[in-house]
Amino acid sequence: MEPGNYGSILLCRTGPTRHNIRIVERAKDQGLEWNPYRGVITPKGEVLAAETEAEIYTALGLPWHEPADRDACSF
């Protein structure tokens, strides 16, 4: 595990899969990448957000959702 990537791993593991796919697509729409083991990555390879789930949602311009509510969320 890289230092400071706990939030990204937690986000990935609490899924669900289709929610994770939406996170990946949202990152791509913004010219970024979401790597579950590193976080939100800029085109230059810099980690933009990874420490907390909320930080990742914020970096992608999304409201944070509790894991139990992620099946129903739409963005």
pLDDT on residue 70: 82
pLDDT tens string 11-70: 999 888 889 999 999 999 999 999 999 999 999 999 999 999 999 999 999 998 888 888
Helix and strand totals (H; E) in the chain:
3, 3
22, burial (CB in 10 Å: exposed 0-12, middle 13-18, buried 19+): middle
Look up residue 2 and give its two tokens: 């890289």
Selected residue with higher pLDDT from 74 and 16: 16
